[in-house]
A and B are shown apart, each in its own frame.
Chain A
Amino acid sequence: MQGEEVPGATFRRKDLLGLADLSREEIKTILTTAASFKEISTRSIKKVPTLRGKTVITLFYEPSTRTRTSFEIAAKRLSADTVNLTVAASSAVKGETLIDTAKNLEAMAPDIIIIRHACSGAPHLLAARLKSSVVNAGDGLHEHPTQGLLDMLTVWEAKGRLDGLKIAIIGDIAHSRVARSNIHGFRTMGSQVVVAGPQTMVPPDLAELGVEVTFSLAAAIADADVIMMLRLQLERQGQMFFSTLREYSRFFGLSPKHLKLAKPDALVMHPGPLNRGVEISPEVADGPQSVILTQVTNGVAVRMAVLYLLSGGEASGTAA
């Protein structure tokens, strides 16, 4: 897709809720726009007036440092006004429903509400009821579309294409919204997706999404162009999903020995935060094939593109 321009194409959605229903053209539009926004973050004055006068609210019902910060920086670099709301799980218990909270926020006329919530579908509940644009910053086990987009941008920049690449996603697929968004996004863009993990963490029916499923790390990463390691949620150990961290690390952690099985120029990715020494060895995380920090950098660009396009901006970022 490199070099393909999409002149005049506009992202005509009110909300960004997931990658499952985005077309190839829509994903291209977001990625090309994001690529053009990257330069802004390299300037000494990292700010353009594109979204001046727009109000962006981040509404986070789950703890997050990197995603919320990334969205906030993205909004600020476009000159939007940002308000961050972190709703502790305890205050939701006090009684206000999600819909009431959102309606109250909307009464203050924001343009975009960015929500993260532990319940799958929470952003959809808001999107159906609010006039504001809604961006899903991660809902339950469902989707994390901007993570999928920044991962695709990172691969596209490094490889020059997405079509025909072999993407291996390793770990707890069942509980990963990152995996779901990446599966949808990379499949739509023509990549081959292989997943591996212990069967306890690989949902039944996964193959029906057009994904190759294996329970062997080595089989998944053989000849892979990209190896995406998922974060192991450590509390899963007590929930019968695996035996010990030591064994998990031995069979499903990415070490230099495993990395040799992939293509020599394979990229190593991780959505963070890392459990060093569990799903990824420090040597690999910090090694030459790792693009983990590039993912973080690209996160800002992708989120700038999403905020810009949802505000009615023209594709490819000419306004910047």
Chain B
Amino acid sequence: MGLLLRGGLVVDPAQDLEDLRDVLLENGRIARLAAPGTIPAEGHEVQDCTGLVVCPGFIDLHVHLREPGQEYKETIATGGAAAAAGGFTAVACMPNTQPVNDSAAVTRYILEKAAEARQVRVYPVAAISQGSEGKILAEYGELQAAGAVALSDDGRPVSNGQLMRRALEYAHTFGLLVISHAEDLELAGNGVMHEGLVSLQLGLRGIPAAAETVAVFRDCELARLTGARLHIAHVSTAGAVAVLRWAKSQGAPVTAETAPHYFSLTEAAVRGFNTNAKMNPPLRTEADVAAIKQALADGTLDCLATDHAPHSVLEKDLEFDKAANGIIGLETAVGLSLRLVEEGVLTLSQLVCKLSTNPARILGVPGGSLREGGPGDITVLDLNHPWSVDVSQFKSKSRNSPFHGWQLPGRAVMTVVGGEVIWEL
């Protein structure tokens, strides 16, 4: 028995397709795309998608699932459920667990837990350096064999330029992507928010935009030097956008992401010492938000990722200086991103490209298209489904979102992985 999605508007940028189609999934794969009403329903589970948008499954290439080690914040099962409820069919999880995912054993453990959870697809990202300590390269070949799809020291950026060069070269040897958390730690100092008028007024130590710009520049130049594939995580500044635009124009093998909070919020959200507006990189200025939107529109920023970072009240209900960085994002990302379509920043097709086609291509994983024979991973959207964000309803174990109470224009209403409906509104 197959799953037949009938009457929806199929948006598949990989095939340059935006038209009404019925989609049949069989044996976990896309079996057929056909004009509405032309696939017989007999023997299939039918889902009426009239008025809805049927997209290749969304892939979030930057989440923190906290397992192993911090299961009180999130587990692979709860993070997977949050991803599904947010419309994602796959996530790539960062290695800053306890222990750090710098070994084949931890990578396998994550994949086993993901298989048990039977939620979304989980792609482990392993550490660049052993223990993410920035000293000795991790075992990239073994990590890849165990299932790691990329390398990153997210949250603990590689400050040694020589190590970063060697990491890129060694990763290139195995054809692995390196994801850079680009931050000059010395320039960032002990800053806790963006350095600007708001940090001045609140008396909070600032992180200058230059801390990101100079690090993006270093890593783009190292990608050009080594020829290795580099992906810049969570771009937040106009300066970094300008550097990326230049690096790409020079042919650097570089891609980049931003997160919904960097086009939805500014440093002003920190007022009142709101620890749910504390993240790294920090929320920036109006001018940065405008530059991020422009870069999404012109393709300088290739994809959207959430940087889903669950924390409990133990890490957030504290003095601002002491609170942990990061917010959850899986269950608000699609709704916030649809605002970009409403505003005319992105077309629907461009948005799907940044949530599915491009992340699949960047990570080199299956999916990202509804081509016949591809994996049966689908996200169904309702563009006209206004809803109010209520963190108490989230599937995530954590509640650290600055978007509680926001009105969003639409959302994912069904998530299909391997031909199975794993979540439905």
In contact, B203 and A141 (Cβ under 8 angstroms): yes
Contact A121 B317 (CB under 8 A): no
Q: Cβ of A205 and Cβ of B203 under 8 Å apart?
A: no
Indicate if A142 sits at the interface (CB-CB under 8 A). yes
Q: Which of chain B's residues 316-342 have a Cβ closer than 8 Å to chain A?
A: 317-322
B225 at the interface (CB under 8 A from A): no
Residues in A with CB closer than 8 Å to B203 are 120-121, 139-143, 177, 180
User: Are B200 and A125 in contact (CB-based, < 8 A)?
Assistant: no
A319 adjacent to chain B (CB < 8 Å):
no
Question: Which one of B195, B200, B203, B319 has the greatest number of beta carbons of chain A within 10 Å?
Answer: B203
B274 and chain A: residue at smallest CB distance: A121
CB distance from B102 to the nearest CB of A (A): 29
B181-219 interface bits toward A, Cβ cutoff 8 Å, 1 = contact, 0 = none: 000000000000001110111111110000000000000
**Max chain B Cβ within 10 angstroms of own Cβ: one of A121, A125, A143, A206:** A121
Do B321 and A140 have beta carbons less than 8 Å apart?
Answer: yes
Is B72 in contact with chain A by the CB < 8 A criterion? no
Chain A residues with CB under 8 Å of B319's CB are 98, 117, 119, 121-122, 125
A283 to B278, CA, bound (A): 47
| A20, CB-defined interface residue at 8 Å | yes
For B197, B202, B319, B321, the residue with the greatest tally of chain A CB atoms inside 10 Å of its CB is: B319
Give the residues in chain B near A139, CB-CB below 8 Å. Answer: 203
A97–B206 alpha-carbon span in the complex (Å): 24
Given contacts A120-B321, A140-B321, A205 and B202 within 8 Å (CB-CB):
no
A121–B200 touching, CB < 8 Å: no
- Return chain B residues, CB-CB under 8 Å to A235: none
User: Would you give the 0/1 interface string for B354-398, flagging 1 where the beta carbon is closer than 8 Å to chain A?
Assistant: 000000000000000000000000000000000000000000000
B320 lies within 8 A of A121 (CB): yes
Taking the complex as formed, is A159 at the interface, i.e. its CB lies under 8 A from any CB of chain B? no
A97-B317, A119-B321, A124-B273 in contact; A142/B200 too (CB < 8 A)?
A: no
A108-160 at interface with B (beta carbon < 8 Å): 117-122, 124-125, 139-143
Contacts of B204 in A (CB 8 A): 120-121, 140-142
Chain A 178-195 residues near chain B, CB threshold 8 A: 180
Q: A208 and B197 in contact (CB under 8 A), knowing A120-B203, A121-B202, A140-B203?
A: yes
Asked if B344 is at the interface of the complex by the 8 Å CB criterion, the answer is: no
User: CB-nearest residue of chain B relative to A129?
Assistant: B317
The CA-CA distance from A188 to B197 in the complex, in Å, is 18
| A120 near B200: Cβ-Cβ < 8 Å | no
**Cα distance, A142 to B317, chains bound together (Å):** 19
* Cα(A177)–Cα(B204), bound, Å: 11
A20: chain B residues at CB < 8 Å are 201
Write the nearest CB–CB distance from A261 to chain B, whole angstroms. Answer: 28
CB-CB under 8 A from A9, the residues of chain B are none
- CB closest residue in chain B, given A124: B273
**Residues from chain A with Cβ under 8 Å of B205 in the complex:** 141
A118→B321 CA distance, assembly (Å): 9
Asked whether A204 is an interface residue with its Cβ less than 8 Å from the other chain, the reply is yes
Expressed in whole angstroms, the minimum distance between the Cβ of A15 and any Cβ of chain B is: 13
Q: Is B272 an interface residue (CB 8 A)?
A: yes
Q: Count A/B pairs, Cβ under 8 Å.
A: 61
* Cα–Cα, bound, A140→B193 (Å): 14
Q: Is the CB of A119 within 8 A of B322?
A: yes
A205 touches B273 (CB 8 A): no
Question: Is A287 an interface residue when CB atoms closer than 8 A count as contact?
Answer: no
CB distance from B125 to the nearest CB of A (A): 32
Of the residues A118, A125, A208, contact of B273 by C-beta under 8 Å: A125
- What CA separation (Å) do A120 and B192 show in the bound complex? 11
Bound complex: CA A97 to CA B318 (Å): 7
Q: Which residue of chain A is the closest to B317 with respect to CB atoms? A: A99
Given A121-B273, A124-B272, A124-B273, the answer on whether A203 and B200 have CB atoms closer than 8 Å is: yes
Q: Is A209 an interface residue (CB 8 A)?
A: yes
Give the residue name and chain of the B residue nearest to A174 (CB).
B200
> CB-defined interface of A13-51 with B at 8 Å, one 1/0 digit per residue?
000000010000000000000000000000000000000
Q: Do A205 and B318 have beta carbons less than 8 Å apart?
A: no
Report the nearest A residue to B204, measured CB to CB: A120
- Residues in B whose Cβ lies below 8 Å from that of A122: 319
Query: Chain A residues with Cβ under 8 A from B317's Cβ?
Result: 97, 99
Q: Shortest Cβ distance from B325 into chain A, in angstroms? A: 15
B193 to A: closest C-beta gap in Å: 10
User: Measured between alpha carbons, how far is A120 from B275 in the docked complex, in Å?
Assistant: 12
Q: Are A120's CB and B202's CB within 8 A?
A: yes
Contact A209/B321 with A124-B272, A204-B195, A204-B196 known, Cβ cut-off 8 Å: no
**With the chains together, A143 CA to B202 CA distance in Å?**
8
B7 to chain A, nearest CB (A): 50
Q: Are the CB atoms of A209 and B273 closer together than 8 Å?
A: no
Complex CA gap A98/B204 in Å reads 18
- CB-nearest residue of chain A relative to B198? A205
* Nearest opposing residue in chain A for B197, CB measure: A205
Most buried by A among B195, B200, B204, B317: B200
Cα of A119 to Cα of B197 in the assembled complex, Å? 18
Which residues of chain B have C-beta atoms less than 8 A from A99's C-beta?
317-318
Within the complex, the shortest CB–CB distance from A221 to chain B, in Å, comes to 23
Chain B residue numbers with a CB within 8 Å of A205 are: 196-197, 200
The CA of A52 and the CA of B149, in the complex, are separated in Å by 69
A121 to B320, CA, bound (A): 7
Most buried by A among B202, B205, B318: B202
- Indicate the member of B201, B272, B317 with the most A CB atoms within 10 Å: B201
Residues of A near B201 (CB, < 8 A) are: 20, 180, 209
CB distance from B170 to the nearest CB of A (A): 35
A20 to B197, CA, bound (A): 13
Q: Which residues of B contact A140 (CB under 8 A)?
A: 203-204, 321
CA distance A141 to B322 in the complex (A): 15
Bound Cα distance from A139 to B197, whole angstroms: 18
Closest B residue, CB atoms, query A181: B203
Complex Cα–Cα for A208 and B197 (A):
7
Determine the distance from Cα of A180 to Cα of B196 in the docked complex, in whole angstroms: 15
> What per-residue 1/0 map shows which CB atoms of A257-277 lie under 8 Å from chain B?
000000000000000000000
Q: In the bound complex, how far is the Cα of B340 from the Cα of A34, in angstroms?
A: 54
Q: Taking CB as reference atom, which chain A residue is nearest B189?
A: A239
Which residues of B approach A to under 8 Å, CB–CB? 195-197, 199-206, 272-273, 317-322
List, sorted by A's number, 8 A–B pairs whose CB atoms are closer than 8 Å: A99-B317, A117-B319, A120-B321, A124-B273, A140-B204, A143-B203, A203-B199, A208-B197
Question: Known pairs A120-B203, A203-B200. 12 more at Cβ < 8 A?
Answer: A20-B201, A97-B318, A98-B318, A99-B317, A120-B320, A121-B204, A139-B203, A140-B203, A140-B321, A141-B205, A142-B203, A209-B200
Would you list the 10 A-B pairs with minimal beta carbon distance, nearest first? A142-B203, A121-B273, A119-B319, A141-B203, A120-B203, A119-B321, A205-B197, A121-B320, A203-B200, A122-B319
